[in-house]
Amino acid sequence: MSTDDKNRAIAAAILPLVGGAENISSVAHCMTRLRLGLRDRSLVRDEALKALPSVMGVVEDDTYQIVLGPGTVARVTPELEALVAAAPKPAPAVPSHDADDLAAQGAALKAAQKAKNATPFKLFLRRIANIFVPLIPALIGCGIIAGLNGLLINLGWLPGVTPALAAMASGFMALIAVFVGYNTAKEFGGTAILGGAVAAIIVFPGVAKIDAFGQTLSPGQGGVLGALGAAILAVYVEKWCRRWVPESLDVLVTPTLTVLISGLVTIFGLMFVAGEISTAIGEFANWLLANAGAGAGFLLGGLFLPLVMLGLHQALIPIHTTLIEQQGYTVLLPILAMAGAGQVGAAMAVYLKLPRNGSLRRTIKSALPAGFLGVGEPLIYGVSLPLGRPFVTACVGGAFGGGFVGLFSMLGDTVGSTAIGPSGWALFPLLDGNKGLGETIAIYAGGLLVGYLAGFVATYFWGFSRELLEEFNVDTETAPAEVTVATGGGTPTKAPETEPEPAKV
């Protein structure tokens, strides 16, 4: 079967299990997940969907999210879109009535949790994330090219090619403020190109001739934070104009006033203020890791997954982007990536502690390769989170891995990533730092090993109570009713409603 046929088959298998084409209101995807807007959630056959070999897990948030993994999701999404577009209004799928009581109870709990997490602050953070997530592929591609270029320069190879590679790697970052402004206006309900136009002022070389607050402005001053603020302001100015400008003059007056008013505020206010904030973020991150690296790394590595569960990790995305824009890499991502290492170590301990639970062991075996590459959802939702205590001990593993990387920052060896999104082994091509590449890779690899080991030890010795072992260490082939497992095994344990990323750490 060709790759196209395989992806089409995956889409065709998913479609009836989510209620058919008529039940789908929107189709999108991120780095690892297919995101579906559904008209009737009750038509989804969760267990049958989880049983598909290509599905690593499901998460329900503001959209229904099917974890397919990086690469696969980008190819399956257009196939599903094509099937939905071509469908001649099929009859809705019949919902499964197995375990009615548990399903009803789970639906009520999910609805309550979803309402709890739909706070204005978290919804605002989700909108901020929606601005930056589409930029991740370009950040990854340019980051890898930058790493390759640095390696060639250090080796003295291909001197005629390295300037071209530098242009490819730096071109996007030089104009990232424009893309942020475009996405911001689009996300907040304005005209996207006007947001990009206002944000472009920030990177225009001519601002070097302008004085504000007694200082001469610099092109790029304020960076992505300035672009974010400028585009949001442009949206509000545009909406005001749409409300008050006569319709006959709207096409001329509204865009002019939007760019003029927002541009003046950006030049004589936002660029300076956002520049000061951006500088403070960079200085604080460097100071924190230089003076309290081990402790800061321990806390960040240990608390990152709980932050993901609460949806608060999205606040870190503009900070990552600001650090990359300022320094060429973010020093926070390699530390946060240790949370995934703790999950891998914990999963391996669970595998050994439950030798009779064939269903759960199969889930772990299928999810571990993705876990090593930084895709943590299958291990989180299929293994550690449903079991409870192993999720906590996995966080302990991430804390020790983060502390290891942070310790070296205190010793003067900074480890950073030139892009956001990848994690685990997938982060190796994006590593950069203030020392040689070999030393940077060695420190990051050491952090992963510490995270694996600490997560394994903590889970093996302290991750199970006697009652938990008795409940889950059973033969699921002969006693399926005694144990249930989340992903690929068959438990009705619900996934949290908040969205876990990147790991897109």
Catalogue the active-site residues. 30
Backbone phi, psi, residue 423, to 5°: -150, 180
DSSP 266: I
Quick one: DSSP state of residue 206?
G
d(CA 276, CA 297): 25
Please name which of 499, 473, 497 lies closest in space to residue 485, comparing C-alpha atoms. Answer: 473
Question: Phi-psi bin for 156: left (phi > 0), alpha (psi -120 to 50), beta?
Answer: left
Helix 223-244 with 247-265: angle, nearest 10 deg: 150
Structure token pair of residue 177: 């403020």
C-alpha 326/C-alpha 471 separation (Å) is 52
The residue length of the chain stands at 505
Give me the amino acid identity at 286: N
Q: Tokens at residue 386, please? A: 């449903």
Q: Which two tokens stand for residue 302?
A: 């240990």
Token pair listed for 295: 């402790």
Both tokens of 5, joined, read 């046929």
Please name the residues in contact with 355: beta carbons below 8 A apart, sequence gap of 6 or more.
361, 473
For residues 223 and 6, give the distance between their C-alpha atoms in angstroms, rounded to a whole number. Answer: 42
Using DSSP bridges, classify how beta strands 24-29 and 33-38 pair: parallel, antiparallel or unpaired. Answer: antiparallel
Q: Which residues contact 90 (CB under 8 A, 6 or more apart)?
A: 20, 21, 22
Shortest CA distance to 385 belongs to which of 303, 495, 220? 495
Q: In whole angstroms, what separates CA 189 from the centre of its chain?
A: 23
| Cβ pair 251, 196 in contact under 8 A | no
**How many whole angstroms separate alpha carbon 380 and alpha carbon 391?**
7
**Residue written as tokens 């480890």?**
415
Q: What are the distances in angstroms from CA 477 to CA 365, 424, 473? A: 17, 33, 12
- Do 395 and 309 meet the contact criterion of CB atoms below 8 Å apart? no
What does the alpha-carbon distance between residue 51 and residue 69 come to, in Å, rounded to a whole number? Answer: 15
Instruction: Locate 159 and state its tokens.
Output: 């001197």
> What H or E segment, with its residue span, contains residue 294?
helix 271-310
| Half-sphere exposure at residue 293, Cβ-oriented, CA atoms within 13 angstroms | 22
